[in-house]
């Protein structure tokens, strides 16, 4: 069965998620759970990320060489995999973030809150 149509939606989602992840690991190395928690918190719980969908995004970023992974011990003494931004990742984060900023400003200007017709 084809996943033609759902693919488009996913891609948009992935792009966004990728950016959020890069932003998170830019602050220092972090394991999967910490990244998820951080995105949740910083977006004010508005962006509900299914924690599971974080991992395909991490794999993609690894493959693109934007982040690296290493084994380490978590704050509560668990063996975990830590992710860290690469130089290439930092550059990517900068371009993508500015692009996003422009895009978001443009959208914001078009979608200025309008009074509802039927209150």
Partner 1 sequence: MFGWNNRRNQLLQEFETHIEIETLENIESGMSPDEARQAARKKFGNVLLAAEESRAIWGGLWLERMLQDVRYAVRSLRGAPAYTATLVCTLVLGLGSVTIMLAIIESILIRPVALPHSEQLVQIYSEDGPDGFSASSHALSYKVIDELQRSTHSFADVSGYNTMVRPVTASDGTRITVLTEVTAEFFPMLGVKAKLGRLIGPADAKAGVVVVSDEFWRERLHADPRAVGSAIKVSGQLRTVIGVMPAGFHAPQGTGESVVYLPVSFHSSGEDDFMIESALTIARLKLGVSGQQALADAGNVFAHADRKSGERYRRLAMRSYRDLVVGDMERPLLTLLGGVGVLLLIACANAANLQIGRAASRMPEMKTRSALGASFGRLLQQLITESILVSLFGAALGGALSYAAIEAVRHAYGKQFPRFDELSVQPVVLVCTGVLAVLVGVIASIAPMLNIRRQTNARFHSKSVTWKSRLPGILVAFQVALTCVLLVISGLFVRTLQSLQNVKLGFDPRGVTTLVLMPEQQNQDPELSREIETRLLRRFETLPGVQSVTMQTEVPFSSYNMVLDGTTEVSGRAFHQGDSAFYSMVSANFVRTSGIRLLKGRNFVADEDASSAMEVLVNEAFLKKYIGGQEPLGASVRFHRNPGETDADLPFIQPMTIIGVVENEIQGADLGAPYQPMVYLDYMQLPKGSLLGAVFSMTAQYAVRSPLAPSVLASELRAAVTKEAPTMVEMNLRSMEDGIAKSLGQRRLALRLVAGFGVIALVLSAVGIYGVLAYSVALRRREIGIRMALGSTRGKAAGLVMRQAGRMALLGLIPGVAGAWAAGYAVRSFLYGVKTFDPAAVGVAGGTLVLVFAAAACLPAMRAVQVDPVETLRAE
Given its phi and psi angles, is residue 84 left (phi above 0), alpha (psi -120 to 50 degrees) or beta?
Answer: beta
How far, CA to CA in Å, does 119 sit from each of 4, 25, 111, 114, 116?
40, 44, 19, 12, 6
Quick one: 57 or 85, whose CB is closer to partner 1?
A: 57
Shortest distance, position 102 Cβ to partner 1, whole Å: 28
Q: Is 8 in the site for partner 1 (CB under 8 A)?
A: no
Cα separation of 19 and 39, whole Å? 11
- Contact residues for 111 (Cβ-Cβ < 8 A; gap 6+): none
Shortest distance, position 44 Cβ to partner 1, whole Å: 17
- Please give the residues from 18 up to 77 whose contact with partner 1 meets the rule CB under 8 A: 31-33, 36, 50-53, 55-56, 58-60, 63, 74, 76
Q: Contact with partner 1 (CB under 8 A): which of 42, 81, 88, 102?
A: 81
Shortest distance, position 57 Cβ to partner 1, whole Å: 9
Q: How many helices (H) and strands (E) does the chain have?
A: 4, 3
Residues contributing to the site for partner 1 (CB under 8 A): 1-2, 4-5, 31-33, 36, 50-53, 55-56, 58-60, 63, 74, 76, 78-81
């Amino acid at each position: 069965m084809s996943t033609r149509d759902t693919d488009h939606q996913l891609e948009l989602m992935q792009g966004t998620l990728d950016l959020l992840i890069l932003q998170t690991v830019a602050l220092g190395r972090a394991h999967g759970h910490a990244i998820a928690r951080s995105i949740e918190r910083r977006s004010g719980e508005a962006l509900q990320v299914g924690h599971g969908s974080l991992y395909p995004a991490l794999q993609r970023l690894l493959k693109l060489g934007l982040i690296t992974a290493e084994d380490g011990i978590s704050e509560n003494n668990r063996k975990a995999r830590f992710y860290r931004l690469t130089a290439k990742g930092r550059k990517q984060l900068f371009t993508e973030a500015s692009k996003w900023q422009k895009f978001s400003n443009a959208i914001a200007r078009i979608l200025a809150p309008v009074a509802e017709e039927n209150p």
